[in-house]
Amino acid sequence: MFLDVQGIDVRYGRNHAVKSVDLTLDEREIVTVLGANGAGKSSLLKAILGSEKSTGTVFFDGVDISGWSAPRRVNAGLVMVPEARQIFVSLTVHENLQMGAYCRSDDVGAEIDAIYDRFPNLAARREMLASILSGGEQQMLAISRAMLAKPRLMMLDEPSLGLSPIMVKQLFALIEDLNRDGLTILLIEQNTHMALQSADRGYVLELGDVVLSGDAKTLQEDSRLGEAYLGTH
């Protein structure tokens, strides 16, 4: 098991956001976590990354990392693309990429060049403030920035949010591309349809509980998936 999450609990005061969730991920898999607003998806990701206080156990590549700080987990290869892209708006495009490599001590010049080759729009704006980028460009920057952190597991928090349908397609093509190159991906989405098309397996969260999980194809046909969103029982 590449990532093995056992009994993760997240509380904000009296709000029990994630209730003893179990989740596993094999190497080179795309797994998606689905659910409506407030289902606890983002809290679960942050707990896995260690940027949110939680109880429970997280094994990464066989090692118990539950007690590790967030920077240490980033160093180990757990990297997150945060919700709503959240690039650093008062830093330049180039500085945003440098921030991605913040934890690394080796030379990343060649990797940054490769990113500029892949996304010419970013290359043309490398010295400009990242705030001027379009939504799609910002998402490409956010993913590129995460790639520079040398991820072994990349976690994306609702990457399709606020993007045009064409950009969403490009985005999922990019995610599948990265996966083919060997990257393991944990994807949080509200766009159930697109996510289940790309993913191998999926989990459905409702009010902090896993109510449904399994093969992506099976989930797509399960009528209970809609219920988790609409809250009808």
Partner 1 sequence: MSGYMEAQLIILCLSIIYAYGIFLPAASGQLNLGAAGFITLGAYASAWFNAGTGAELPMWLSIMLAMVFTGVIAFAISFPILRTRGVYMVLATFAFAEVVSGIAINLEFVGGASGFPVDDHADVTVIVPVTILVILFSFYFMSTRLGLALRSIHDDESVATLFGVNVRTAKVVAFTVGAMLMSLGGSLYGHHYNYIEAQTFNVLLSIYILLYVLMGGTQTAWGPLIGAAFFAIVPETLREIAESAGLKWLAEGRFMMFGAFIVLLMVFRPEGVMTRTLQNRLGSGLFRQKKVVSDDAGGGS
Write out the residues near partner 1 by the rule CB under 8 A: 49, 51, 69-71, 74-75, 79-80, 82, 86, 88-92, 94-95, 98-103, 105, 107-109, 112, 127-129, 145, 149
State which residue, 111 or 206, has the beta carbon closest to partner 1.
111
69 vs 164, which CB is nearer to partner 1?
A: 69
Residues 34/189, Cβ–Cβ less than 8 Å: yes
Contacts of 19 (CB under 8 A, 6+ apart): 9, 40, 207, 208, 209
Can you tell me the distance from the alpha carbon of 193 to that of 227, in angstroms, rounded to the nearest whole number? 15
Could you tell me the smallest distance in angstroms from the CB atom of residue 27 to partner 1? Answer: 22
Strand 30-34 with 184-189, pairing: parallel
Measured from the CB atom, is 60 or 210 closer to partner 1? Answer: 60
Q: Judged by CB, which is closer to partner 1: 83, or 227?
A: 83
Residues β-bridged to residue 154: 79, 185
Give the residue with the Cβ less far from partner 1, 87 or 219. Answer: 87
Parallel, antiparallel, or unpaired for β 63-64 and 15-25?
unpaired
**Residue 142 or 196 with smaller CB distance to partner 1:** 142
Q: Nearest distance from residue 116's CB to partner 1, in Å?
A: 13
Q: How far is the CB of 157 from partner 1 (least distance, A)?
A: 10
Write the CB contacts of 189 (distance below 8 Å, at least 6 apart in sequence). Answer: 32, 33, 34, 158, 159, 160, 195
The CA distances from residue 34 to 42, 82, 161, 169, in Å, are 10, 16, 13, 18
Shortest CB 144 distance to partner 1, Å: 13
What is the number of other CB atoms lying within 10 angstroms of the CB of residue 36? 15
86: left (phi over 0), alpha (psi -120 to 50) or beta: left
Output the smallest distance, CB 86 to partner 1, in A: 5
CB 112 to partner 1: min, Å: 7
Please give the structure tokens belonging to residue 23.
């989740």
